[in-house]
Amino acid sequence: MRGDNKMGFRFDLLLFALTVLAAPVLSDLILSKVDRRIDLTSQIVRSVSTLKVENAGSELVSEVLLSFPEHQAKNLAYLMATYSEGKGKAKSSGVSLSVKEVKPKGMPPALTFYSVTLPKGLGKGDSFTFDVLSVFTHSLRPFPEKITQADIQLVIFQDSAHFLTPYVVKFQSLSIKLPDSRIESYTKLENTKLHGSEIKYGPFENLPSFSFSPIFVHFESNQPFAVAKELVREIEISHWGNVQVTEHYNLIHGGAESKGEFSRLDYQARPHLRGASAFRHLVAKLPPRAHSIYYRDEIRKYINVSSME
């Protein structure tokens, strides 16, 4: 990332922080405990947040709002809220809650909001605990953007150490799981600990609504960033009951771009120069009765040859 781009990005974060701090509090709900766990072990970012909400007001509350900044909202691929029923051995997990996008009045346009409908309204002093799974694509940016055939792939991830929410938070913590312990750099706050391949932030206590503390993690990730720009599936059913399925993929490597010429000699003679982040195979999950399987591939000039081996 060039210096001017980095300064511009930090300036955008400052404007974003000033905008959300001026937003009003929506209700008397508070988050008495927030535990966030972010998994960066693949090209897909998975975040699981356990939220314990409590009604500190006198009016019945039946929904909880989730907020996402613009850079996360545009890459949000999946969002699900679940809770557990029962107690002890009879406790069940994974009961889904209704989630839908909403636009609350008076909220900053830099945020996208989703409403989680609770199974029953919370009265004064009542609390409820549920989990939120958020899955993001294209959230890991290669840095540097171009590497040679012999280089490892480094990526950068950005988020907030504080859970971005329109509610007051009494207690919260954050853990970030990385592929391994090879970390170039990461944002160090007052309560930050590194345990092997896991970074822990917090605990943080008594944070106001819309608290935002930007963090960056720059680390080695040699996971293959296989991206299908286009997928076309053709299904043909014959008069004899046979079904033929043909899939056409337009694949690219979504990680760091290749810098310099590809050397077939180095690729064959020096295994350690094969490109740690290149993807060399694709996994196809087929039904048990599938037969007569075949494939054809075409490596185009604008795609790194090593990534398609």
Tokens describing residue 307: 């990534």
Do 132 and 80 form a contact (C-beta atoms < 8 A)? Answer: yes
Note whether 166 and 273 are same-domain residues.
no
Going residue by residue through the chain (309 aa), what tens digit of pLDDT does each one get? 444 444 444 435 544 554 555 455 556 899 999 999 999 999 999 999 999 999 988 888 899 999 999 889 999 999 999 998 766 554 556 789 999 999 988 777 788 999 999 999 889 889 999 999 999 999 999 998 888 777 888 999 999 999 999 999 999 999 999 998 889 999 999 889 999 999 999 899 999 988 989 999 999 988 778 888 898 999 999 888 888 888 888 888 888 887 777 666 666 666 655 566 677 777 888 888 888 888 887 776 544 433 333
Q: What is the DSSP letter of 25?
A: P
How many CB atoms are closer than 10 A to CB 40?
24
pLDDT score for 147: 82
Note whether 71 and 166 are same-domain residues.
yes
pTM over 0.95: no
Note whether 64 and 209 are same-domain residues.
yes
**Partner residues linked to 205 by β-bridges:** 171
How many domains does the chain divide into?
A: 2
> Alpha-carbon torsion 200, 206, 209, 211, what sign?
negative
Note whether 201 and 246 are same-domain residues.
no
Q: Please say which residue of 177, 203, 220 terminates a domain.
A: 220
Note whether 160 and 38 are same-domain residues.
yes
**Partner residues linked to 130 by β-bridges:** 51
Do 66 and 51 form a contact (C-beta atoms < 8 A)? Answer: no
User: Reduced to 3 states, what is the DSSP secondary structure of residue 271?
Assistant: helix
Cα separation, 240 vs 283, whole angstroms: 29
pLDDT score for 290: 85
Note whether 232 and 112 are same-domain residues.
no
Q: Please say which residue of 187, 220, 253 terminates a domain.
A: 220
Which domain covers residue 275, as residue numbers? 226-308
User: Reduced to 3 states, what is the DSSP secondary structure of residue 102?
Assistant: strand
Note whether 160 and 291 are same-domain residues.
no
Note whether 100 and 132 are same-domain residues.
yes
Give the domain CATH number at 134. Answer: 2.60.40.1730
Q: Please say which residue of 191, 220, 249 terminates a domain.
A: 220
Tokens describing residue 62: 């039946």
Note whether 112 and 78 are same-domain residues.
yes
Note whether 281 and 150 are same-domain residues.
no
Q: Measure the CA angle with vertex 86, ends 82 and 92; round to 5°.
A: 50
Q: Measure the CA angle with vertex 55, ends 68 and 26; round to 5°.
A: 45
Note whether 105 and 200 are same-domain residues.
yes
Cα separation, 25 vs 106, whole angstroms: 10
Note whether 204 and 251 are same-domain residues.
no
pLDDT score for 297: 79
